[in-house]
Amino acid sequence: MTEAVIFDLDGTLLNTCDDLGAALNHTLSLHGFAQVAKERYSPAISNGVKALLEVGFGTELEKLDQALLRQQVLDHYAQNIAVHSHCFDGVNALLEGLESKGISVAIMTNKPTFLTLPLLTKIPELAHIQVIVCGDTLDEAKPSPKPLLHAAAQLKVDARNCVYVGDAERDIQAACAAEMRSVTALWGYIPSKSIALSWGADLNLTNPEALLKHI
139 is catalytic: no
What is the identity of the amino acid at 119? L
In the structure, what pLDDT confidence band is assigned to residue 81 with cuts at 50, 70 and 90? very high
Contact status, residue 143 vs residue 123, Cβ threshold 8 Å? no
pLDDT at position 131: 98
pLDDT at 205 over 90: yes
pLDDT at position 129: 97
Domain ranges of the chain: 4-15+86-213, 16-80
Q: How many residues does the chain have?
A: 215
Q: What pTM, to 2 d.p., does this model score?
A: 0.94
**d(C-alpha 201, C-alpha 191), whole Å:** 15
Lowest mean pLDDT, pick from 41-55, 59-73, 143-157: 41-55
DSSP annotation string for 90-138: THHHHHHHHHHTT-EEEEE-SS-HHHHHHHHHT-GGGTT--EEE-TTTS
pLDDT at 47 over 90: no
In the structure, what pLDDT confidence band is assigned to residue 27 with cuts at 50, 70 and 90? very high
- Averaged pLDDT, 130-149: 97
**d(C-alpha 78, C-alpha 190), whole Å:** 24
Q: For the chain, what is the mean pLDDT? A: 96
pLDDT at 208 over 90: yes
The region that residue 140 occupies, defined by phi over 0 for left and psi between -120 and 50 for alpha, beta otherwise, is beta
Report percent pLDDT > 70 for the chain: 100
pLDDT at 45 over 90: no
pLDDT at position 48: 86
Report strand pairing: 86-87 vs 14-15: antiparallel
Write the pLDDT tens digit of every residue in 86-125.
999 999 999 999 999 999 999 999 999 999 999 999 999 9
- Averaged pLDDT, 182-195: 96
Candidate CATH numbers 3.40.50.620, 3.90.1150.10, 3.10.450.50, 3.40.50.1000; the one for domain 4-15+86-213: 3.40.50.1000
Write phi, then psi, for 131 (nearest 5 degrees): -95, 115
- Averaged pLDDT, 153-159: 98
Catalytic option among 8, 10, 19, 171: 8
